[in-house]
């Protein structure tokens, strides 16, 4: 238990280790589990027991279907909901599956509300109304909520996967030219995980609203990179940003939470610039 994991050549003691480079822990949802001989750990529907000699390709052929938009299985979501309720009943909030306190990642005060590098927001009254509704739902429940802005300007009803860290959009319910709307339960802008949804040819843009009312909108302008192109650039840019932001953290006296926020925001800028996506932002 006292020995580190080796990830990308770096020693890490546990997921989210603050001593690890930022690009290995931003938006990380890894977890550790106890491996006890003779005891199964497949309670959540996401882990599995031994594969009985199967290779990965054999398993993939039998089970693996790509789900680029719907990220959680129904069994996995049900297990997380049960875990959330269990810890709520126990009055605990300091565990992975419990409702986490909002607002733990916010910008440094000098950058709070600064949208000088963004294009102005261009939202219809109906879209603004929906974004405010999503914000309120996120604050009230602690779960991310989403909606779909269709090409004709109509908007779906808000929905939730009942998870703090994400909301699942079903690929077969997204017509060509749609924009995804969702809330974040803290103060962070669009993450690389959010932006990766834009490799889907049907999605023209993605918008999020934070718990403090900041809105970020990335529009693809017709260009959708493939999965390999996106992931290769993201991996490279995370390493660059990590080094640069660590220096700024020391120079400007940021907290660790402020450092993580600024890493996510800078990554948003650079990914949009790389693929020539329009980036808009502002307050509602």
CA distances from 259 to 28, 43, 157, 246 (A): 15, 35, 35, 7
Are 58 and 115 members of one domain? Answer: no
- Nearest CA among 184, 28, 17 for reference residue 103: 184
Q: Is the residue at 245 inside a domain?
A: yes
Are 147 and 51 members of one domain? Answer: no
Q: Is the residue at 89 inside a domain?
A: no
Domain boundary among 42, 68, 94: 68
SS3 state at 1: coil
Domain boundary among 17, 41, 68: 68
How confident is the model at residue 25, as a pLDDT? 67
Instruction: Please name the residue that has the structure tokens 């020995």.
Output: 3
Q: Tens-digit pLDDT profile for the chain (284 aa)?
A: 567 887 766 778 778 776 676 656 665 657 666 554 554 444 333 444 445 566 656 655 665 544 444 333 444 445 545 544 554 455 544 332 222 333 478 899 999 989 999 999 999 999 999 999 999 999 999 889 999 999 999 999 999 988 777 888 888 889 999 999 999 999 999 999 999 999 999 999 999 999 999 999 999 999 999 999 999 999 999 989 988 999 999 999 999 889 999 999 999 999 999 999 999 999 98
CA distance 45 to 78: 9
Domain hosting residue 52, numbered range:
5-68
Are 150 and 278 members of one domain? Answer: yes
Q: Is the residue at 177 inside a domain?
A: yes
Q: Is the residue at 95 inside a domain?
A: no
Are 59 and 121 members of one domain? Answer: no
Are 45 and 167 members of one domain? Answer: no
Sign of the four-CA dihedral 191, 192, 193, 197: positive
Are 60 and 189 members of one domain? Answer: no
Between helix 227-252 and helix 256-274 the angle, nearest 10°, is 140
SS3 state at 215: strand
Do residues 245 and 262 touch, judged by C-beta distance below 8 A? Answer: yes
Q: Is the residue at 31 inside a domain?
A: yes
Are 121 and 48 members of one domain? Answer: no
Are 134 and 267 members of one domain? Answer: yes
Do residues 215 and 282 touch, judged by C-beta distance below 8 A? Answer: yes
Q: Is the residue at 122 inside a domain?
A: yes
CA distances from 43 to 31, 33, 47, 71, 85 (A): 14, 11, 7, 18, 16
Q: Is the residue at 224 inside a domain?
A: yes
How confident is the model at residue 20, as a pLDDT? 73
Domain boundary among 44, 68, 92: 68
Are 64 and 204 members of one domain? Answer: no
Are 213 and 164 members of one domain? Answer: yes
* Rounded-to-10 torsion of CA 45, 181, 195, 254: -100
How confident is the model at residue 151, as a pLDDT? 96
CA distance 34 to 93: 22
Are 195 and 131 members of one domain? Answer: yes
CA distance 111 to 113: 6
How confident is the model at residue 101, as a pLDDT? 36
Domains identified in the chain, total number? 2
Q: Is the residue at 10 inside a domain?
A: yes
Are 214 and 134 members of one domain? Answer: yes
């Amino acid at each position: 238990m006292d020995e580190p994991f080796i990830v990308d050549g770096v020693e890490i003691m546990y997921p989210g280790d603050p001593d690890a480079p930022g690009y290995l822990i931003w938006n990380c949802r890894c977890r550790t589990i106890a491996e006890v001989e003779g005891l199964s750990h497949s309670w959540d529907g996401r882990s599995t027991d031994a594969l009985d000699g199967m290779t990965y390709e054999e398993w993939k052929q039998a089970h693996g279907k790509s789900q680029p938009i719907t990220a959680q299985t129904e069994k996995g979501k049900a297990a997380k909901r049960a875990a959330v309720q269990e810890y709520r009943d126990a009055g605990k909030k300091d565990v992975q599956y419990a409702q986490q306190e909002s607002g733990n990642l916010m910008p440094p005060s000098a950058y709070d509300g600064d949208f000088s590098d963004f294009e102005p927001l261009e939202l219809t009254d109906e879209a603004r109304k929906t974004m405010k509704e999503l914000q309120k739902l996120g604050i009230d429940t602690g779960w991310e909520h989403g909606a779909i802005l269709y090409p004709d300007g109509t908007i779906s009803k808000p929905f939730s996967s009942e998870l703090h860290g994400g909301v699942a959009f079903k690929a077969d319910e997204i017509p060509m030219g749609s924009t995804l709307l969702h809330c974040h339960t803290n103060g962070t802008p669009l993450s690389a995980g959010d932006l990766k949804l834009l490799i889907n040819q049907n999605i023209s843009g993605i918008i999020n609203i934070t718990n403090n009312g900041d809105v970020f909108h990335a529009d693809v302008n017709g260009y959708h990179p493939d999965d390999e192109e996106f992931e290769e650039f993201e991996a490279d840019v995370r390493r660059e940003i990590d080094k640069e932001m660590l220096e700024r953290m020391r120079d400007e006296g940021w907290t660790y939470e402020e450092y993580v926020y600024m890493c996510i925001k800078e990554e948003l800028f650079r990914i949009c610039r790389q693929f020539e996506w329009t980036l808009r932002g502002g307050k509602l």
